[in-house]
Amino acid sequence: AQSVTQLDSHVSVSEGTPVLLRCNYSSSYSPSLFWYVQHPNKGLQLLLKYTSAATLVKGINGFEAEFKKSETSFHLTKPSAHMSDAAEYFCVVSGFQKLVFGTGTRLLVSP
């Protein structure tokens, strides 16, 4: 069965500093992996998607993620945080036509 573990429930950064949101996955086959973002009381927006092409995936709003098979990781990064990045971030693995979500990481950005 597919699963993801988001290692931090909360991450706090200052505006302009780098962001790192950690995710480890478990999958019995080559997975499709996603990062979605959810702003308060909003729906989910797709940030980026990995599907066994390039291991470094670039997404929207300056985010990117690197697929590391040896470490079973798919961490999300951004070089410089912006106040508008404050939200909940979900690492997701695709498993047999349904998505399996991590428990989420709340990103807090201070001025």
Residues that bind other proteins (CB under 8 A): 32, 34, 36, 41-46, 49, 51, 90, 94, 96-104
Q: Whose Cβ is closer to other proteins: residue 8's or residue 15's? A: 8
Q: Whose Cβ is closer to other proteins: residue 15's or residue 27's? A: 27
Using alpha carbons, select from 6, 12, 80 the residue that is nearest to residue 36: 6
Using alpha carbons, select from 35, 53, 54 the residue that is nearest to residue 93: 35
Least Å distance, CB 69 to other proteins, is: 17
Structure letter (DSSP) for residue 109: E
For residue 82, give every residue at least 6 positions away whose Cβ sits within 8 Å of its Cβ, in sequence order, or none. 15, 109
Q: Whose Cβ is closer to other proteins: residue 15's or residue 99's? A: 99
Least Å distance, CB 101 to other proteins, is: 4
